[in-house]
Amino acid sequence: MFAAYVTVSVLGAVFNGAAAVTYLIGHEYPKTQADMKGIDRKWVPVLGMLLAAGTVGLLAGPAVPLLGTLAATGLVLYFIGAIIAHLRVGSRNIVGGIVFLATAAAVLTLGLLDHGPW
């Protein structure tokens, strides 16, 4: 179980780390996504920092289980919010959000099965 947890945690960290970098370097894609959802562009770096914090938490999770649990929970909530934001404006382009959500949910589930909530 631990090997599966570590594998999915690393995969989730790669996904979220790449997304965090695009948000933090000022790439145009997150800005256009914010515009489409009616979110002020000043929130793009904040969203990138949340993704970066989740990435660090996922990587630290195998060594500090509580941190991994909190990071995975935060990312699940983040991506539920992202999917809702897409649906709110009529966008049906949610496959990416669902993949990220499923990865975070898998990390959370495997972590809880491996070591419990703490």
Mean confidence (pLDDT) of the chain: 96
* Structural domain boundaries in the chain: 2-115
pLDDT at 81: 96
CB atoms within 10 A of CB 68: 27
- In terms of Cβ atoms closer than 10 Å to its own Cβ (0-12, 13-18, 19+), residue 31 is middle
As a whole number, mean pLDDT of residues 2-8 equals: 97
In this prediction, what percent of the chain has a pLDDT beyond 70?
100
- pTM reported for the whole predicted model: 0.94
Whether 65 contacts 115, CB under 8 Å: yes
Q: What is the pLDDT of residue 117?
A: 79
Distances (CA, A) of 3 to 7, 39, 99, 111: 6, 39, 21, 11
